[in-house]
Amino acid sequence: MSAKCDLVLTGKVVLADQVLDAGFVAIKDGCVVGVGSGDGPDATKREAYGESYIMPGAIDAQVHSRSQKDQEGFAWSSRSAAAGGVTTIVDMPYDDGDLICTADRLTAKAEEAARECRVDFALYGTCHPEEGPNKVKEMVQAGACSFKFSTFGTDPERFPRIPPQTLYQCFSEIAKYGLAAGVHNENHEFVMDMAKRVKDAGITDYRAHGMSRPAITETLAMAEIYEIGATTGCPAHVVHCSVGRGYEMCAAYQKQGYQTSIEACVHYLTLNEEEDVARLGGKAKINPPIRPKAEVEALWSHLEAGNVTLVSTDHVSWSENRKTDPDMLKNASGVPGLEALYCLLLKGLYERGLSFSWAARLLAKNPAEHFRLSHQKGALEVGKDADIVVMAHKPGPYDPAASGHNVVSWSPYEDIELPFRPAATYLRGEKVFDGKDVLAEPGKGTYITPLVSKALKEAAAYGEGA
């Protein structure tokens, strides 16, 4: 580093493999140019964070910014992200009134997000069940970082079930480009039958949701997903798993040499059925359901064993009226979590005596690699974007309404004691959150795409000029 840096941050630097107790991160032109122990090189500006943790900005692998029309949108979801230390959101393709299943729709969404986002973003694509894999190549060329499917049909147009034969065709096409296929893992027929049984029994309280979606509905779907991945050679990813058995399945396929991966949403690591779902009712309704305490502890055991690939939020900010019906099954599924993601994971690691390097891997390094974005994102390493969150020891209960950074004032995590909170968030070396206010305006974020997109575009341009 011969030239003076723009900025040097000092504090406890958390890397994917170690923590530097007195470390520095040097930044120039929006990128990391040095990481190490001590005070670091000369810089135009220095910010000392003492005993606070300097960590890679999170990549939230599962965000639903537009699930409810005229409700949240990217301006709000990315505001929550910046306040929570999330510097890249990966947005799902199931938008209200607009299934993102063509290149035109993906491009239009990217343009809208670029106008609204305060942090960087990447986008999932999907396939309409009647189109199958026909639009996969054009969506890859338009920048899709992965493809999302579901073995359960929430809605025939917005969130359709993809039958196994079509899933096989889609996986086969996606495999050509080296991207992963992520799947919502619930067996449709089994869930529909169990939901009918619960309704017929007259059960409407908090128990109804878990009873309608027992653990076997997840693992049956996962067997289908992983077998299709194994047969087609497509990296097969389960986007959320609430039961320990699912992590055993993923690990078993990995040992056999297959490219399988699995995601633990932070709510499965934080909430349990006996206490939290019983207390919160519809505000804790999520698909798959929050499970009993024993499963929560099983997931933490798998995390410590290295069997969890990513941790995400599955963030969606439903209006409160869609989460408060006394009939549990009539509520919308999903919860907001962007502002609390980093705080909640660090809380769990801290209480279990686990290294914060787990967070650097599960929230940054692994997601960047999974979505083929690691050429630019995911680590405090020379040449990568200087996406950083500073986590300070500042214990206190979480109040989702207090910050003003969330479009809704409710959260299933309200009043949970959080030992650490973001003191600052940097996006490409620029401070976008100062511990109180989000400083980034809409339009600050950029569209992050895998290298395969660039290669396809260059090949297309070459063909046109030949």
Average pLDDT, integer, range 22-49? 97
Q: What is the pLDDT of residue 2?
A: 56
Domain that holds residue 116: 57-370
Q: What is the pLDDT of residue 173?
A: 98
Reply yes or no on whether the pLDDT at 273 is more than 50: yes
C-beta of residue 21 within 8 angstroms of C-beta of residue 61:
no
C-beta of residue 451 within 8 angstroms of C-beta of residue 374:
no
Reply yes or no on whether the pLDDT at 462 is more than 90: no
Q: pTM of the full predicted structure?
A: 0.97
Reply yes or no on whether the pLDDT at 277 is more than 60: yes
Residues 6+ apart with CB under 8 A from 373: 59, 88, 122, 145, 367, 448, 449, 450
Q: What is the pLDDT of residue 453?
A: 77
Q: Is residue 179 part of a domain?
A: yes
β-sheet bridge partners, residue 54: 13, 390
**For residues 232 and 226, what is the distance between their CA atoms, to the nearest angstrom?**
10
Helix (H, G, I), strand (E, B) or coil at 463: helix
Tell me the residue length of the chain. Answer: 466
What's the whole-number average pLDDT of the chain? 96
C-beta of residue 425 within 8 angstroms of C-beta of residue 432:
yes
- Rg (the chain; Cα; Å): 21
- Tokens 């959101």 locate to 89
C-beta of residue 380 within 8 angstroms of C-beta of residue 35:
yes
**For residues 330 and 314, what is the distance between their CA atoms, to the nearest angstrom?**
19
Q: Is residue 90 part of a domain?
A: yes
Q: What is the pLDDT of residue 459?
A: 72
**For residues 66 and 57, what is the distance between their CA atoms, to the nearest angstrom?**
23
Q: Is residue 8 part of a domain?
A: no
Q: For 312-354, how does the pLDDT look when each residue is reduced to its tens digit (9 = 90+)? A: 999 999 999 999 999 999 999 999 999 999 999 999 999 999 9
Sort 459 into a burial class: Cβ within 10 Å, 0-12 / 13-18 / 19+. exposed
Q: Is residue 184 part of a domain?
A: yes
**For residues 446 and 457, what is the distance between their CA atoms, to the nearest angstrom?**
18
Q: What is the pLDDT of residue 247?
A: 98
Looking at the structure of the chain, the number of domains it has is: 1
- Tokens 């599960």 locate to 362
370: nearest Cα among 180, 125, 147: 180
Average pLDDT, integer, range 175-195? 97
Tokens representing 37 are 């122990």
457: nearest Cα among 126, 142, 124: 142
Residues 6+ apart with CB under 8 A from 328: 204, 205, 206, 207, 208, 209, 281, 282, 285
Reply yes or no on whether the pLDDT at 289 is more than 90: yes
Share of the chain above pLDDT 70, in %: 98
Sign of CA dihedral 359, 365, 367, 370: negative
pLDDT category of residue 153 using cuts at 50, 70 and 90:
confident
**For residues 68 and 64, what is the distance between their CA atoms, to the nearest angstrom?**
9
Reply yes or no on whether the pLDDT at 188 is more than 70: yes
CATH number for the domain including 353? 3.20.20.140
Helix (H, G, I), strand (E, B) or coil at 131: coil
Q: What is the 3-state secondary structure (H, E, C) of 410-433?
A: CCCCCCCEEEEEEEEEEECCEEEE
Q: What is the pLDDT of residue 466?
A: 44
CB atoms within 10 A of CB 407: 17
Q: What is the pLDDT of residue 464?
A: 55
Q: For 77-101, how does the pLDDT look when each residue is reduced to its tens digit (9 = 90+)? A: 999 999 999 999 999 999 999 999 9
**For residues 226 and 419, what is the distance between their CA atoms, to the nearest angstrom?**
37
Q: Is residue 100 part of a domain?
A: yes
**For residues 160 and 163, what is the distance between their CA atoms, to the nearest angstrom?**
9
**For residues 423 and 464, what is the distance between their CA atoms, to the nearest angstrom?**
50
Q: Is residue 413 part of a domain?
A: no
Longest dimension (CA), the chain: 73
Reply yes or no on whether the pLDDT at 175 is more than 80: yes
186: nearest Cα among 167, 213, 212, 206: 213
Q: Is residue 331 part of a domain?
A: yes
Tokens representing 216 are 């076997």
Tokens representing 457 are 């575009």
| Single-letter code of the amino acid located at 302 | H
Q: Is residue 411 part of a domain?
A: no
Q: For 226-252, how does the pLDDT look when each residue is reduced to its tens digit (9 = 90+)? A: 999 999 999 999 999 999 999 999 999
Helix (H, G, I), strand (E, B) or coil at 329: helix
pLDDT category of residue 463 using cuts at 50, 70 and 90:
low
Reply yes or no on whether the pLDDT at 449 is more than 80: yes
pLDDT category of residue 220 using cuts at 50, 70 and 90:
very high
